[in-house]
Amino acid sequence: MAVKVSLKVNGKSVVAEVEERTLLVTVIREHLRLTGTHVGCDTAQCGACTVSMNGRAVKSCSMLAMQAEGTEVMTIEGVAHADGTLHPMQAAFKEHHGLQCGFCTPGMVINAIDFAKHHPDPSEQEIREALEGNLCRCTGYHNIVKAIGAGARAMAASK
Amino acid sequence: MGAPLIGARVERKEDYRFLTGAGQYTDDVELPRQSYAVFVRSPHAHAILKKISLDQARKAPGFIAAYTGEDFAAAKLGGLPCGWLITDVNGQPMKEPPHPCLAQGKVRHVGDQVAIVIAETSAQARDAAELVAVDYKVLPAVVDGAKARAKGAPQLHDIAPDNTCYVWAIGDKAVADAAFAKAAHVTKLEFINNRLIPNAMEPRVANGAYSRADDSYTLYVASQNPHVERLLMTAFVMGLPEHKVRVVAGDVGGGFGSKIYLYAEDVAVTWAAKQVNRPVKWTSDRSEAFLTDAHGRDHHTVAELAMDKDGKFLAMRVKTTANVGAYLSTFASCVPTILYATLLAGQYKTPVIHCEVTAVFTNTTPVDAYRGAGRPEATYVVERLVETAAREMKLDPAEIRRRNFITEFPYQTPVALQYDIGDYNATMDAAQQLADVAGFSKRKEESVKKGKLRGLGYAAYIEACGIAPSAVAGSLGARAGLFEAGEVRVHPTGSVTVFTGSHSHGQGHETTFAQVVADRLGIGIDSVDIVHGDTSKVLFGMGTYGSRSIAVGGTAIVKALDKIVAKGKKIAAHLLEAAETDVVYDRGIYKVAGTDKQKTFGEVAFAAYVPHNYPHDKLEPGLNENAFYDPANFTFPAGTYVCEVEVDPETGVVKIDKFTAVDDFGKIINPMIVEGQVHGGLTQGIGQALTESCQYDATGQLLTGSFMDYCLPRATDVPFYQVDTRETPCTHNPLGVKGCGEAGAIGAPAALMNAITDALGVKDMPMPATPQAVWKVLNNKQAA
């Protein structure tokens, strides 16, 4: 049975016709072709699929598309400014070499932005704990932790 | 032009696309009329395939096609080849059992491919695959490498009696035995180098397409080496001419070795694309990745070090059983031999080394190169032995190392390699200082006051990188060359596109290589783009593994750049009406020595493409050069790692308090990227020592088949690292570079386990040192 799901993605209203079992990440990647959101596991552990829903970071592999009805979703494609300038958190990742292969990066950045909203000047330990749901195999987290600290402070300063 | 770019912390050119979701990973590629494949896999570790019924699957919605091993046999598709021939102790070739793309009559590990099912959507393919009925006759399985040769063990392959692939050895056993007989002290260890599952964050993906219009294939695949993939697939499996097959590996989300190999799925989707006349895409889910990506390590080793009364090393004896899994993966055979035993000299003047390696088949996922590949295993042997020896002889562990360090170069080891250069005291000095080893005893006292145990451990590793001189590799059994290729295409307005056979899957080649090009040409880095990962664009390539990219791939580019500069000089001489010998090239400008006459690089490029005033009698127009570079020797990165841990004896939890790494990678192009490589390598090494371990039950079921069970290090498991470098430039490549990708994973496990055993006051501690394992060791010690 196909069902209709209406939601806003990166500020645009979209309607997708999906099976009931369809996951939110499938709508994002396959229906909307927003391929910046990645799938890195099948047990909700890696966080590569993290998107922002109504301002909170959620794992889009662990939600049915139907559960996103009426929500506002922001994917990594919607994070930078309209003119292409990077968001302060994205800029911090670049400056601190907080990414290597880039596969976990969209989820890291989305999660970090949500975290930074509530932690304008986070400690190392707070950042490490906030990454509990995001796996990275390349960086050893060292530069991700540095980037998130710098990004959070830059976000706070630009308020 | 501005400041030199070699050695500069340049932010990465590739980051913008990754940070904005604009990367194009293989699963992001969606082709017109795309279809989707799912593989039916064996749930048993060892079974006879009695019957496969596709009847119900064929009726499933969206079903397009399904194929089994019978179809592949009828199509005369070959098995997957092994790229390295090992000759055993009796001069016989290793046993190479067939490695079919889809099982032929028998399955040999959980996850072995039985059938491919293709449908209109991935969900429909999954549904249809569930309707494939397979009748298995389950056989007993053997999982543990140490038990594979036991009498009565289940046999995997008819052509490999006793499940033995080979027994191989290096060094003179009689001479080693004689040295042991004279030793004042012998240190002996027995341990397992635990099996690991690589887990690049991007699972494998293969999307095969076929065009009837020109009878050609295109395979989009998450690969570290697209040309090697094409060569293996066309020449050895499918019997296709290479010019009819294009392999594209765009953005790849990490590899760590696991994406070097030609996998069955790659062949299956490529072949099936022609059968169904539509593109066929397979995307591994993580559960499949755990079951089918080639695993790493899995050695059982007994090692001994003989010393005189002063702790001078006299000889080493090592006996290893390497579990290669159910089949030989692409480079499986060379990892526990050529890439392992040849590194057993470490940084030391051990005069005699004998190592015997027995490679065995078991009912487990094939094992192949994983970050470090043989060298972490060798470093673990050497550095655990050395540290243990120091404790047994009551010598300072740094001092025993210094007494045995190689200090004169070139140095010929007793295990085939010749080190060109290094300064092991320099990295040891720097590491001791950075780690504040002098302050350790004070910190230990403070830990004791808190009821905690504190320990410090070293690892002074060496690795052979810049793989590899082709002739040497060939004499050791390699079935491929190991050079690299590069092309420099100067455009008419002076900007440059460089094509490299190396491949970046996180290493940042688009930046590092652009720094090299821009620096050597003296042009802006924004005028340089690096292209890799597409056989239709790049002239040739052997890809990226073995920390070879900058040393071999970078050198190929430098050689092509030299040709560009030399041709430009001829053009400039003509334009400036000067003798070629009077023209010098200085950071983007051709000058006539002793005059103010000059032409910019851009002007020369323009003249090459708009050759109105041009030496047509001597030169072709255009400015485009390529080069192939085959290295003269391996490179030998080395360094000292110091790890300091605090252990809670109540819980067995190990906290890494400090981790210091001082590496000698030769010349460094981009320190920011190099540090990132070290951080990542260290974390994978720490993962091996502290959290990660592939576990099967006795029937061959994978117990650690998800991130819920297999513990990849998380951010809270690791500290901020202290990293630094010392530099002895490589003597045999023009950049003086050695490579940095694997060092961290090579040196970290031994340093960490040396620290933990120091803290616990024990000789043996198995990896991974999970809280439970540590707690058990402590309690056994107290009971004893």
Is the confidence at residue B1, as pLDDT, over 70? no
In a domain, B190, yes or no: no
Q: At what angle do helices A142-157 and A88-95 cross, to 10 degrees?
A: 140
Residues of B in contact with A97 (CB under 8 A): 11-12, 672-673, 675-676
Regarding whether A93 and A135 lie in a shared domain, the answer is yes
Residue A103 has its nearest CB partner, among B12, B202, B684, at: B202
Q: What is the C-alpha R_g of chain A?
A: 15
Regarding whether B443 and B497 lie in a shared domain, the answer is no
For residue A36, the model assigns a pLDDT of 98
Regarding whether A103 and A153 lie in a shared domain, the answer is yes
Contact B614, B621 (CB under 8 A): yes
- More reliable by pLDDT, B468 or A71: A71
* Mutation to test the A interface, candidates B11, B16, B20, B674, most A Cβ within 10 Å: B20
Residues of B in contact with A141 (CB under 8 A): 679, 683, 713-715, 718
Residues B576-629 have pLDDT tens digits of 999 999 999 999 999 999 999 999 999 999 999 999 999 999 999 999 999 999
- Cα distance from B718 to chain A (closest Cα, Å)? 8
Residues of A in contact with B200 (CB under 8 A): 101, 103, 137
Domain span at A38: 2-78
In a domain, A83, yes or no: no
Q: Cβ-count burial of B640 within 10 angstroms (0-12 exposed, 13-18 middle, 19+ buried)?
A: buried
- Cα distance from B716 to chain A (closest Cα, Å)? 5
Q: Is B499 on the interface with A (CB under 8 A)?
A: no
Residue A94 has its nearest CB partner, among B15, B507, B744, at: B15
Interchain pair A43, B708: CB under 8 A: yes
For residue A30, the model assigns a pLDDT of 96
Regarding whether A92 and A112 lie in a shared domain, the answer is yes
**C-alpha to C-alpha distance for B315 and B321, rounded to whole angstroms:** 20
Q: Is A128 on the interface with B (CB under 8 A)?
A: yes
For residue B2, the model assigns a pLDDT of 59
- Which pLDDT band, with edges at 50, 70 and 90, does B192 fall under? very high
Strand runs labelled E in B538-691 = 583-586, 589-592, 598-600, 624-629, 638-647, 654-664
For residue B708, the model assigns a pLDDT of 96
With pLDDT > 90 as the criterion, what percentage of chain B qualifies? Answer: 99
Question: Which B residues 273-302 touch A at CB under 8 Å?
Answer: 285-287
Consecutive H or E run containing B680: helix B671-686
Regarding whether B668 and B732 lie in a shared domain, the answer is yes
Is the confidence at residue A15, as pLDDT, over 90? yes
In a domain, B310, yes or no: yes
Interchain pair A105, B20: CB under 8 A: no
Contact B310, B326 (CB under 8 A): no
Regarding whether B407 and B520 lie in a shared domain, the answer is no
Of B37, B100, B470, which Cα lies nearest the Cα of B264?
B100
Q: Which DSSP letter does residue A1 get?
A: -
| C-alpha dihedral, B742 to B746 to B749 to B751, nearest 10° | -110
Token pair, residue B21, equals 């979701």
Regarding whether B79 and B63 lie in a shared domain, the answer is yes
Q: How many domains does one find in chain A?
A: 2
Mean pLDDT, rounded, for B347-368 = 98
If one counts every other C-beta atom within 10 angstroms of the C-beta of residue B438, the result is 9
For residue B5, the model assigns a pLDDT of 95
3-state secondary structure labels for all residues of B174-206: HHHHHHHHCCCEEEEEEEEECCECCCCCCCCEE
- Which pLDDT band, with edges at 50, 70 and 90, does B294 fall under? very high
Instruction: Output the CA–CA distances (angstroms, integers) from residue B594 to B578, B583, B584, in the order listed.
Output: 12, 10, 10
Regarding whether A70 and A14 lie in a shared domain, the answer is yes
Share the mean pLDDT of chain A.
97
**C-alpha to C-alpha distance for B477 and B50, rounded to whole angstroms:** 38
**C-alpha to C-alpha distance for B36 and B113, rounded to whole angstroms:** 16
Which residue of chain A comes nearest to B251, CA vs CA? A101
| C-alpha dihedral, B610 to B614 to B616 to B619, nearest 10° | -90
Domain span at B525: 483-629
Report yes or no for ipTM above 0.90: yes
Regarding whether B598 and B451 lie in a shared domain, the answer is no
DSSP string over A44-76:
S-S-TTEEEETTEEEEGGGSBGGGGTT-EEE-G
**C-alpha to C-alpha distance for B669 and B683, rounded to whole angstroms:** 22
- Cα distance from A70 to chain B (closest Cα, Å)? 24
Which residue of chain B comes nearest to A101, CA vs CA? B506
Residues B578-589 have pLDDT tens digits of 999 999 999 999
Single residue among B598, B629, B660 that ends a domain in this structure: B629
Residues B540-562 have pLDDT tens digits of 999 999 999 999 999 999 999 99
- Cα distance from B252 to chain A (closest Cα, Å)? 7
Residues of B in contact with A129 (CB under 8 A): 715-716
CATH number at residue B379: 3.30.365.10
Contact B184, B307 (CB under 8 A): yes
Residues A62-120 have pLDDT tens digits of 999 999 999 999 999 999 999 999 999 999 999 999 999 999 999 999 999 999 999 99
- Which pLDDT band, with edges at 50, 70 and 90, does B440 fall under? very high
Residue A102 has its nearest CB partner, among B253, B679, B712, at: B253
Regarding whether A93 and A149 lie in a shared domain, the answer is yes
Interchain pair B19, A48: CB under 8 A: no
Single residue among A51, A78, A105 that ends a domain in this structure: A78
Q: Is A3 on the interface with B (CB under 8 A)?
A: no
Of B43, B47, B170, which Cα lies nearest the Cα of B111?
B43
Single residue among A78, A107, A123 that ends a domain in this structure: A78
> Is there a cis peptide before residue B410, judged by omega within 30 degrees of 0?
yes
In a domain, B478, yes or no: no
Q: Is A38 on the interface with B (CB under 8 A)?
A: yes
Interchain pair A140, B683: CB under 8 A: yes
Is the confidence at residue B240, as pLDDT, over 80? yes
For residue A159, the model assigns a pLDDT of 82
Instruction: Output the CA–CA distances (angstroms, integers) from residue B297 to B159, B294, B380, B697, B706, in the order listed.
Output: 24, 10, 11, 18, 19
Share the mean pLDDT of chain B.
97
Question: Which B residues 238-267 touch A at CB under 8 Å?
Answer: 251-254, 256
Regarding whether B575 and B526 lie in a shared domain, the answer is yes
DSSP string over B597-640:
-EEEHHHHHHHHHSTTS--TTT--SS-EEEEEE--SS-B--EEE
In a domain, B106, yes or no: yes
Question: Which B residues 655-694 touch A at CB under 8 Å?
Answer: 672-673, 675-676, 679-684
CATH number at residue A73: 3.10.20.30
Which bin fits B163, alpha (ψ -120 to 50), beta or left (φ > 0)?
left
Residues of B in contact with A90 (CB under 8 A): 19-20
Residues B27-37 have pLDDT tens digits of 999 999 999 99
Regarding whether B206 and B65 lie in a shared domain, the answer is yes
Angle at B536 between CA B530 and CA B537, to 5 degrees: 20
Instruction: Output the CA–CA distances (angstroms, integers) from residue B257 to B223, B355, B373, B546, B583, in the order listed.
Output: 10, 25, 8, 9, 46
Q: Is B508 on the interface with A (CB under 8 A)?
A: yes
Regarding whether B644 and B497 lie in a shared domain, the answer is no
Q: Is A156 on the interface with B (CB under 8 A)?
A: no
Residues B87-108 have pLDDT tens digits of 999 999 999 999 999 999 999 9
For chain B, what is the largest distance between any 2 Cα atoms, rounded to a whole number of angstroms? Answer: 90
Residues of A in contact with B291 (CB under 8 A): none
Is the confidence at residue B182, as pLDDT, over 60? yes
**C-alpha to C-alpha distance for B562 and B569, rounded to whole angstroms:** 11
Mean pLDDT, rounded, for A19-30 = 97
Residues A53-78 have pLDDT tens digits of 999 999 999 999 999 999 999 999 99
**C-alpha to C-alpha distance for B610 and B728, rounded to whole angstroms:** 44
**C-alpha to C-alpha distance for B768 and B779, rounded to whole angstroms:** 17
Strand runs labelled E in B340-400 = 352-361
Regarding whether B638 and B614 lie in a shared domain, the answer is no
For residue B784, the model assigns a pLDDT of 78
Helix (H, G, I), strand (E, B) or coil at B470: helix
Q: Cβ-count burial of B259 within 10 angstroms (0-12 exposed, 13-18 middle, 19+ buried)?
A: buried
Regarding whether A151 and A121 lie in a shared domain, the answer is yes
Residues of A in contact with B744 (CB under 8 A): 140
Residue contacts between A and B (CB atoms, under 8 Å): 178
Angle at B623 between CA B620 and CA B629, to 5 degrees: 105
Regarding whether A28 and A63 lie in a shared domain, the answer is yes
Residues of B in contact with A124 (CB under 8 A): 720
Regarding whether A68 and A22 lie in a shared domain, the answer is yes
| C-alpha dihedral, B504 to B347 to B407 to B435, nearest 10° | 80
Mean pLDDT, rounded, for B48-61 = 98
- Which pLDDT band, with edges at 50, 70 and 90, does B510 fall under? very high
Q: Is B127 on the interface with A (CB under 8 A)?
A: no
Residues B13-26 have pLDDT tens digits of 999 999 999 999 99
Regarding whether B777 and B645 lie in a shared domain, the answer is yes
Residues of A in contact with B18 (CB under 8 A): 99, 101-102, 105
Question: Which A residues 53-72 touch B at CB under 8 Å?
Answer: none
Single residue among A78, A106, A140 that ends a domain in this structure: A78
**C-alpha to C-alpha distance for B133 and B43, rounded to whole angstroms:** 12
Contact B320, B312 (CB under 8 A): no
Regarding whether A104 and A60 lie in a shared domain, the answer is no
Token pair, residue A101, equals 């292969």
**C-alpha to C-alpha distance for B315 and B706, rounded to whole angstroms:** 43
CATH number at residue B233: 3.90.1170.50
- Tell me the one-letter amino acid at B50: K
Regarding whether A6 and A72 lie in a shared domain, the answer is yes
Q: What is the C-alpha R_g of chain B?
A: 27
Single residue among B578, B601, B629 that ends a domain in this structure: B629
Helix (H, G, I), strand (E, B) or coil at A24: helix
Single residue among B602, B629, B656 that ends a domain in this structure: B629
Residues of A in contact with B661 (CB under 8 A): none
Q: How many domains does one find in chain B?
A: 3
Regarding whether A106 and A68 lie in a shared domain, the answer is no
CATH number at residue A153: 1.10.150.120
Question: Which B residues 694-733 touch A at CB under 8 Å?
Answer: 706-708, 712-716, 718, 720-721
Percent helix / strand / coil, chain A, rounded to 5 = 40, 20, 40
Question: Which B residues 107-126 touch A at CB under 8 Å?
Answer: 123
Regarding whether A100 and A69 lie in a shared domain, the answer is no
Residue B715 has its nearest CB partner, among A102, A103, A128, at: A128
Regarding whether B490 and B439 lie in a shared domain, the answer is no
Regarding whether B405 and B502 lie in a shared domain, the answer is no
